Amino acid sequence: MEKKHKFSIWYVVFGIWFVLILNNLIYSNIGPKNVSYSEFLNLLRQDKIEEIAIGEKVISGVYRDSQGKQIQFDTVRVSPELAKELEGHKLKFRGEVESTFLRVIFSWMVPILIFAVVWWFMLKRMSPGQGVMNFGSNRAKIHAETDITTNFDDVAGVDEAKEELEEIVNFLREPEKYTALGGRMPKGVLLVGPPGTGKTLLSRAVAGEAGVSFFSISGSEFVELFVGVGASRVRELFSQAREKAPCIVFIDELDALGKARGMSSMGGHDEREQTLQQLLVEMDGFDPRVGVIIMAATNRPEILDPALMRAGRFDRQVLVDKPDLNGRIAILKVHAARITMAEDVDLKVLAQRTPGLSGADLENILNEGALLAARAGRTEVTMTDLENAVDRIIGGLEKKNRVINAHEKKVVAYHESGHALVAALTPKADQVHKISIVPRGIAALGYTEQRPTEDRYLMTKTELLGRLDVLLGGRVAEKVTFGEVSTGAGNDLKRATDLARAMLSEYGMGETLGPATFTRRNQPVFFPSDAGGIAPAAQEFSESTSAALDKELLSLLQQRQDRVVKLLSANKDLLEKVAERLLEEEVLEGTEFMAMVEKDGRNIEEDAKEV
């Protein structure tokens, strides 16, 4: 693919400087020396002129200077009679050729033409859309059939999405198979999913498998300051797509262009709405039988305009979700093929440690592991490198220089030991993989990592209560050991409160409110409820219901805290043993921790059954 150079003002400065220098060389320094007519006559009398050519107006020739060096010269002729008269007065005189119109034009045209050639060359080297007058042109990146080398083998962890898109590939390869039966392909395919799950990669894989041209553009590149520019770009994009058919037009981040009209609190945006309307018209106007497939990707489907989502436009939606355990293993295998791995690397264990991570996150973990191995001077990436990479991605960068006093370090050790001990002694809780009191990230002074044994899509009330207990375990451990709590449990309390509120208001697991939900509308599908930038809807329940909800929420959290207090009080000796071990090692692996629990741990529910 041809390499494009960005425009720079220094090109113009260099061009002007070059033209001025060239002009000076041509008209000042290059050519014979110009001498006055009186000096020519003096050289003639001294017999220094060796060669002469007499023209109608100009005399040129060669003379030898005082050092014997030959010098070319020219001079403008003066009338012999006038020359004799002037010589009698001992004057220095010279002749001049009268300027003509053509001579003046030529003296100006040469530098102007040179400058125009330099300017034309710079414009040809610029990428499309960089010129001052090109703000209305299409900015899509066009890839020919041979430029796309991505195929379905390069995409892992989204098998269901690939199956949906294989039909698009078959249509682009054999359109007559479908048109013969009177059918048509969907005009638009919308890839929906969280960030980093491979939506753009999938679209390139479809183009690579079908062997067709690929137009790629971001939704934000349509909208400009000038009204009408975006609509013009949409028209030009579809016009080029028809000429290149069969092809795929891919619009990334469609929500930047296709946001529902009327959502802005500041009023309508004429340019964005005109661009959206032009897109709707173009998608209605083109014939799907020509082989132009419109694909788009978004992680905010809830804010798209309903007109985009109706049948006849983006009439097929493909979910590209975060991978499950098998999907994560497949993704790790694809990316691990280019990395030199040691024999101790177990990708299944790595996949079990990374639930909820996207394909981009998994690729980043392998890359971080390779960087850590190279930094340590190893020739292979070991499992330890990958484990440290996971800690770095999930927990943040290790703060080796952060100084913590002895008491704070002890509080952190008991806090994390409380989390781990409650998780180990709570039925159906996720297995403890690692406990650490090494500071990481912005504010994390330690962490307890749990590794689920399998992917879960449903959770029971008992399992959610177990999660509440684990979240409260660190704070309770501080209370049981030191008689007071610290600010280190702030994030735990927030997560516990959100989980308990969801159990009561969304899942109907409370006793007071019964089987009803009290949730907010228009929540982001693939983002946390506080990250979507959408204002909460007006409260849809009464003040008495809100008061009852708050009362049961506090009661539930208090009940779980009482249970955790009993559990840790019954295992106080084990809590101290784990915390002391953690203070010695700073990092405690799950196998060693579980061996300590199996030896000395007491489960209060099992003790109650025996009694």
CA distance 529 to 37: 94
Q: Which of 531, 527, 549, 532 is nearest to 540 (CA)?
A: 549
Core vs surface per residue 280-305: b (16+ CB within 10 A) or e: bebbeebebeebbbbbbbbbbbbbbb
452 known member of a binding site: no
CA distance 276 to 270: 10
| Longest CA–CA separation in the chain, Å | 144
CA distance 102 to 41: 31
CA distance 540 to 285: 43
65 known member of a binding site: no
Contacts of 152 (CB under 8 A, 6+ apart): 162, 166, 205, 209
Strands 292-298 and 58-64: unpaired
CA distance 98 to 139: 55
Contact 437, 586 (CB under 8 A): yes
322 known member of a binding site: no
* Beta bridge mates, 339: none
The residue whose two tokens read 């796309």 is 148
Core vs surface per residue 509-533: b (16+ CB within 10 A) or e: bbeebeeeebeeeeebebbeeeebe
CB count, 10 Å around CB of 551?
11
199 known member of a binding site: yes
Contact 322, 356 (CB under 8 A): yes
441 known member of a binding site: no
Amino acid (one-letter) located at 127:
S
Contact 378, 339 (CB under 8 A): no
Based on the residue annotation, tell me whether 416 is a catalytic residue of this protein.
Answer: yes
The catalytically annotated residue of 271, 416, 478, 552 is: 416
194 known member of a binding site: yes
Q: Which of 253, 16, 229 is nearest to 119 (CA)?
A: 16
193 known member of a binding site: yes
CA distance 243 to 221: 22
Q: Mapped to the 3 state alphabet, what secondary structure does 23-87 carry?
A: HHHHHHHCCCEECCHHHHHHHHHCCCEEEEEECCCEEEEEEECCCCCEEEEEEECCCHHHHHHHH
Backbone angles phi, psi at 346, to 5 degrees: -120, 105
C-alpha distances out from residue 41 to 95, 107, 305, Å: 13, 30, 91
Roughly what angle, to the nearest 10 degrees, separates helices 199-210 and 159-173? 30
Contact 605, 514 (CB under 8 A): no
Amino acid (one-letter) located at 116:
A
CA distance 33 to 307: 79
Binding site members: 193-200, 415, 419, 492
Q: Could you list the active site residues?
A: 416
Summarize the annotated binding site for Zn(2+) as residue ranges.
Answer: 415, 419, 492
Known binding-site residues for ATP equal: 193-200
